[in-house]
Amino acid sequence: MFDLERWQEIFETISKNKLRTFLTGVSVASGIFILVVLLGIGKGMQNGISSEFENDASNILYIWTGVTSKEYKGLNPGRRIVLHNEDYNTTVANHQDELEYKSSIYRIWNGSVTYKKETGSYRVEGVLPDYQFLENASMVQGRYLNEQDVNGSEKYVVIGNKVKTDLFKNGLDPIGKYVQVSGINFKVIGVFSDPGGEREESRVFMPLPTAQRVFGGYDELQNLSFTLEKEENFDAALAASQRFSAKLESYLKDKYNIAPDDNSAVTVNNSLENAKRFFDLMNMIRLFFWGVGICTIVAGVVGVSNIMLIIVKERTKEIGVRKALGAQPISIIGMVLHESIFVTTIAGFVGLISSLALLEFVGPLIETQYITNPSVNFNVALSTVFILVIAGALAGFFPARRAAKIKPIIALRDE
Amino acid sequence: MSCGNYIFPAIMIEIQDLHKSYKMGHNSLHVLKGINFSVKEGELVSIMGSSGSGKSTLLNILGMLDEADSGSYTLDGLPIKNLNEKIAARYRNKFLGFIFQSFNLISYKSALDNVALPLYYQGVKRAERIDKAMAYLEKVGLAKWAGHLPNELSGGQKQRVAIARALASDPKVLLADEPTGALDTKTSYEVMDLIQGINDEGRTILVVTHEPDIANMTKRIVNLKDGLIIDDTKVEQVRALSNV
Question: What's the pLDDT at A58?
Answer: 66
Q: Does pLDDT of B4 surpass 70?
A: no
- Distance from first CA to last CA of chain B, Å, rounded? 26
User: Does the CB of A247 have a partner CB in chain B at under 8 Å?
Assistant: no
Nearest Cβ partner for B104 among A5, A13, A411:
A411
Which of B31, B85, B107, B110 has the most A C-beta neighbours within 10 Å, making it the best mutation to test the interface with A?
B85
Distance from CA of B5 to the nearest CA of A (A): 37
* Average pLDDT of chain B to the nearest whole number: 90
Per-residue pLDDT, averaged over A73-94, amounts to 88
Q: Does pLDDT of B196 surpass 90?
A: yes
Burial class (CB in 10 A: 0-12, 13-18, 19+), B192: buried
Per-residue pLDDT, averaged over A207-233, amounts to 85
| Residue B178: closest C-alpha in chain A | A412
pLDDT one-digit tens code per residue, A154-181: 999 999 999 999 898 888 899 999 999 8
Question: What's the pLDDT at B173?
Answer: 95
AA letter at B100:
F
Which of A2, A325, A330, A333 has the most B C-beta neighbours within 10 Å, making it the best mutation to test the interface with B?
A325
Say if the Cβ atoms of A325 and B118 lie within 8 Å. yes
pLDDT one-digit tens code per residue, A337-391: 888 888 888 888 898 889 888 888 887 777 666 677 777 877 877 888 788 888 8
Calpha distance A345→A386 (Å, rounded): 9
CA nearest to B216, candidates B49, B12, B45: B45
pLDDT one-digit tens code per residue, B214-223: 999 999 999 9
Which of B102, B124, B175 has the most A C-beta neighbours within 10 Å, making it the best mutation to test the interface with A?
B102
Say if the Cβ atoms of A326 and B98 lie within 8 Å. no
Q: In chain A, helix, strand, coil percent, each to 5?
A: 55, 20, 25
Question: What's the pLDDT at A53?
Answer: 62
pLDDT one-digit tens code per residue, A12-61: 778 877 888 888 888 888 888 888 888 888 888 877 776 666 555 567 88
pLDDT one-digit tens code per residue, A274-321: 778 877 888 888 888 888 888 888 888 888 888 888 888 888 888 888
Say if the Cβ atoms of A13 and B63 lie within 8 Å. no
pLDDT one-digit tens code per residue, A179-209: 998 888 999 999 999 887 888 888 999 999 9
Per-residue pLDDT, averaged over B46-66, amounts to 88
Cβ-based neighbours of A18, under 8 Å, separated by 6 or more: none
The DSSP code for B176 is: E
Chain A / chain B CB contacts < 8 angstroms: 73
Per-residue pLDDT, averaged over B89-118, amounts to 91
Do the Cβ atoms of B178 and B104 come closer than 8 Å? no
Question: What's the pLDDT at A281?
Answer: 84
Compute CA distances B75 → A13, A180, A336, B59, whole Å. Answer: 37, 115, 33, 13
pLDDT one-digit tens code per residue, B84-102: 888 989 999 999 999 988 8
Calpha distance B126→B131 (Å, rounded): 9
Q: Please report, rounded to a whole number, the percentage of residues in chain B having pLDDT higher than 70.
A: 96
Contacts 24+ apart (CB under 8 A), A365-373: A366/A44, A368/A48, A369/A48, A369/A52, A370/A45, A370/A48, A370/A49, A371/A41, A371/A44, A371/A45, A371/A47, A371/A48, A372/A44, A372/A47, A372/A48, A372/A51, A373/A44, A373/A47
* Average pLDDT of chain A to the nearest whole number: 84
Distance from CA of B119 to the nearest CA of A (A): 9
With a CB-CB cutoff of 8 Å, which residues 116-145 of chain B face chain A? 117-118, 120-122, 126
Question: What's the pLDDT at A257?
Answer: 87
CA nearest to B173, candidates B66, B40, B50, B70: B40
- Distance from first CA to last CA of chain A, Å, rounded? 34
CA nearest to A277, candidates A42, A49, A39, A40: A49
Question: What's the pLDDT at A40?
Answer: 86
Say if the Cβ atoms of A326 and B100 lie within 8 Å. no
Other Cβ atoms within 10 Å of A183 Cβ, number: 7
